[in-house]
Amino acid sequence: MKPKSDCIACLVERTKYECDMVFNDDREKIRVLKEFIAFLLEHLGEEGKSPAFFGTERERIIKRRSGAKDPHGKVKKRSNEVAKGLLPEVYKFYDAVSSKSKIEALIRIAAAANSMEYGVKGYSYDDDVFKGDFVHTLNEKLNWDMDLIISAIKERDEILYLTDNAGEIFFDAFVIRELIEMGKEVVVSPKSAPVINDATTEDLKEAIANVSPNFGFGDRVKVTPSGSCIGVSLEEAEEEFLSVFSDAKYLVIAKGMGNYEAISEFEATPELGLKGRLIYILRAKCEPIASSIGVRRRELVAKLV
């Protein structure tokens, strides 16, 4: 997805939002804003540069200037605790549906979980509101091609699951567990190092341990990190990840807006062969994402490319 005019305002506003998290000195905030805006102006309009590309550089500038390895660490920890407390509702929701509706229930859980997001312009998120509305969120309208997506999941035995945010990762861990129980081989791709509030391998380990303490993390889940960028960067990703990502036998489930922003820029590349085996699952939190996908802003979405 190419940056829209709204994306530019959002990227700058998010820079200020994150500066407020790590800096007390307003002069340092201004230095970061100047450096990021200069980078933005230099590269806007270049082919293949999605909002995720600019967001990744924003994170690197803030880390470099602040010296913080994980500026979002406290937010991520809080999100994980919120999600952990809601897992009983996930079990209850999933157990209540018929065997014919299990895949739909997993898609709903994965999509509802993507509501957990901070700092998106025009999207207000609050932990307490999310906790209070979670059961309703699981049952709200889902914009998807149900038959196509269910068939795509049923027909493939191998799945590559690209995670998104901390907190959300606890719900993803449940979804992954149930996919494996259905007989799927699942390769999970969190981040190899902190970037915004995205889940890292450590967050994934914690989530799986909480979802099922005896699940056998090392035995039943293969972990292949997607890198330390927002979304996926073909230039920076490790060969191990790219070999799975481009393997035609894998169904790719890509969670969240960052993955959509990045992957949609190259999803039609013939060498990757993603057509018919790529599913985006997210909440469309901003107008540029919503209009790009063809849905309404704030809708839960599952889209098969």
Residue 190: predicted pLDDT: 98
Label residue 123 by pLDDT band (50, 70, 90): confident
- Average pLDDT (243-253) is 98
69 or 213, greater pLDDT: 69
Whether the pLDDT of residue 217 is over 70: the answer is no
Residue 63: predicted pLDDT: 97
Question: Strand, helix or coil at 269?
Answer: coil
- Average pLDDT (280-299) is 97
Whether the pLDDT of residue 245 is over 80: the answer is yes
State the angle between helix axes of 168-181 and 73-96 in degrees (0 to 180), rounded to the nearest 10.
Answer: 40
| Interatomic CA distance for residues 301 and 281, integer angstroms | 6
Question: The sheet that has 142-144: what strands, in order across it?
Answer: 142-144, 300-304, 278-283, 250-255, 158-162, 185-189, 222-223
- Average pLDDT (46-61) is 97
- Average pLDDT (40-59) is 96
State the angle between helix axes of 201-211 and 168-181 in degrees (0 to 180), rounded to the nearest 10.
Answer: 60
| Interatomic CA distance for residues 128 and 123, integer angstroms | 15
270 sits in which H/E element:
none
Residue 216: predicted pLDDT: 62
Residues 6+ apart with CB under 8 A from 258: 52, 55, 164, 196, 198, 230, 231
Pairs from 34-38 (Cβ < 8 Å, separation ≥ 24): 35/61, 35/65, 36/11, 36/12, 36/61, 37/12
Whether the pLDDT of residue 281 is over 60: the answer is yes
Geometric angle at alpha carbon 60, from 56 and 63, rounded to 5°: 135
Ramachandran class of 77: left when φ > 0, alpha when ψ lies in -120 to 50, beta otherwise: alpha
Mean pLDDT is lowest, of 29-38, 164-173, 214-223, for: 214-223
Whether the pLDDT of residue 122 is over 90: the answer is no
Residue 215: predicted pLDDT: 61
Average pLDDT, the chain: 95
Alpha helices, DSSP H, located in the chain: 5-22, 26-43, 51-66, 73-96, 102-113, 127-139, 146-155, 168-181, 201-211, 217-220, 239-245, 256-263, 287-293
By CB atoms closer than 10 A (0-12, 13-18, 19+), residue 253 is buried
Residues 6+ apart with CB under 8 A from 238: 192, 224, 225, 227
pLDDT tens, position by position, 161-205? 999 999 999 999 999 999 999 999 999 999 999 999 999 999 999
